[in-house]
Amino acid sequence: MAGRDVTRTVEAVWRIESARLIAGIGRLVRDVALAEDLAQEALVAALEQWPESGVPDNPGAWLMATAKHRGVDRLRRAEVNQRKTEELGRDAELRSSADEEDLAVAADDPFDDDLLRLVFTACHPVLSPDARVALTLRLLCGLTTREIARAYLMSESAMAQRIVRAKRTLSAAHVPLAVPSPDELRERLASVLEVVYLIFNEGYSASAGERLIRPELMEEAGRLGRILAELLPREAEVHGLVAPMELQASRTRARISPAGDQVLLLEQDRSRWDWVLVGRGLAELERAYATRGPIGPYTLQAGIAACHARARTAGDTDWERIVALYDGLAQLMPSPVVELNRAVAVGMAFGPEAALEIVDRLQAEPALDNYHQLPSVRGDLLDKLGRLDEARAEFERAARRTVNSRQRAALLERATACASPR
């Protein structure tokens, strides 16, 4: 260990092994909460024993064997307490497999199935998105409650409550630890992908706190996405979700200014993009297309992100293709925000007049009532058309709607520019 703290090694092993450990135990005890308890007990045992005994050669198998033995102990105690016969059945299964060696290393496919079961259970639609996110970070990413609480700027006790409630909800709803049937798969998958997307988005544009991004959440989401892409390689939308995550992560370095402010895509110095991640994102999009499965909203968004990634300079952007992809997106999930983004793309591809028509249709949209981007986009289009008085009014309106002081200052500056003769 060369002076490195064994505790930190145990933590690292836990991060690597916990999901498959919980998933493997889950197959035997068929209960997420119990599986997690047993895995935690194995972790505690490791923390107690490894500093003395050294880290075993195959730490994953050690944890699995320990967790199983704890499970057998528990069930034995339950037996004494005259528990239900159903549980005795599990006991027999558990005992026989506790003798199998190296279960963690062996059997590839069962492991994938175990993990998939855990994924679909942690992301079950019976849970609120917040609960799904918390449970996923805990069960699949191996984060501690404290780490999750810190990432979401919550108290540890509040986060612990959320996780406990989530597990209770699963058990109250009798959610089986199972992979959904083929006819439910797509719908249930959407619930899983949403969780990954939410984690990524919270990292990519933090909703609270002082930092604009939280790279650790982006990284967790990225890893989860890549794991899913290997578990469900034939699902286009999984790759469609991974692709824009890689592409957006590739821009992290260019996206935040030294002062900590956001630099918009078209203003970014593309030499600062991470080109390894760009390559990964584009490859993942190809994998999505190669499945020949139905293209969903994630893959369309991946296509849009890829148009930007392929452009060496902002001026090279293929805006017509972006418009076509937004057309598809607007059909699949019509929303005023998608429509506004489509308008911007139309403006870039076909000129401000065509875009203004779309934006004007959005004026009455209640969902955009307090959205500063609407007047801001409209102001920009009017400005380009030389209708400066109207443009100024829109920039002023946008400035009133934003809570961000830097944004407001910039918008007011733009309004002033419209008033002065050029």
Rounded to an integer, what distance in angstroms lies between the CA atom of residue 377 and that of residue 398?
Answer: 9
- Of 165-173, 184-192, 356-364, 372-380, the window that binds another protein (rule: CB under 8 A) is 372-380
Choices 68-76, 185-193, 195-203, 217-225; region in contact with another protein by CB under 8 A: 217-225
Shortest Cβ 85–another protein spacing (Å): 38
Distance (Å, whole) CA 348 – CA 358:
13
345 binding another protein? (CB under 8 A): yes
Q: Which residues pair with 262 in a beta bridge?
A: 256
Residues 22-61 that bind another protein (CB under 8 A): 59
Closest by CA to 301, choosing from 338, 346, 268, 271, is: 338
Instruction: Determine which residue in the list 54, 209, 215, 351 makes contact with another protein, applying CB under 8 A.
Output: 215
Judged by CB under 8 A, the residue of 43, 149, 179, 304 near another protein is 304
| 348 in contact with another protein (CB under 8 A) | yes
The number of residues in the chain equals 422
Angle at 131 between CA 243 and CA 335, to 5 degrees: 50
Asked if residue 380 binds another protein (CB under 8 A), the reply is: yes
- The span from the CA of 382 to the CA of 398, in Å, is 14
Burial-class residue 126 by CB neighbours within 10 Å (0-12, 13-18, 19+).
middle
Minimal distance in Å, beta carbon 148 to another protein? 13
Q: How many residues bind another protein (CB under 8 A)?
A: 64
Query: What count of other Cβ atoms lies within 10 Å of the Cβ of residue 272?
Result: 14
Q: How many CA atoms lie within 13 A of 208 on its CB side?
A: 6
**Min separation Cβ 181 and another protein, Å:** 24
Which of 9, 49, 144, 161 binds another protein (CB under 8 A)? It is 9
Binder among 18, 66, 121, 248 for another protein (CB under 8 A): 248
Judged by beta carbon, residue 123 or residue 344, the one nearer another protein is 344
Residues from 97 through 116 that contact another protein (CB under 8 A) = none
Using CB under 8 A as the binding rule, the residues of this chain from 251 to 290 that contact another protein are 251-253, 256-259, 261, 263-267, 269, 276-277, 280
Asked if 319 and 348 touch (Cβ cutoff 8 Å), the reply is yes
The strand pairing partners of 9, in sequence order, are none
SS3 294: coil
> Locate tokens 């990225």: which residue?
222
Q: Report the largest interatomic distance among the alpha carbons of the chain, rounded to a whole angstrom.
A: 90
d(CA 187, CA 355): 34
Name residues whose C-beta falls within 8 Å of residue 35's C-beta, 6 or more positions apart in sequence. Answer: 22, 23, 25, 26, 29, 177
Q: Does 117 bind another protein (CB under 8 A)?
A: no
Q: Confirm or reject binding of residue 119 to another protein (CB under 8 A).
A: no
Residue 130 is a binding residue for another protein (CB under 8 A): no
Residue 80 is a binding residue for another protein (CB under 8 A): no
Positions touching another protein (CB under 8 A) are 4, 8-9, 11-13, 15-16, 59, 213, 215-216, 219, 222-227, 230-231, 248, 251-253, 256-259, 261, 263-267, 269, 276-277, 280, 301, 304-305, 307-308, 322, 325-326, 340-341, 344-345, 347-348, 373, 376-377, 379-380, 395, 398, 410-411, 413-414
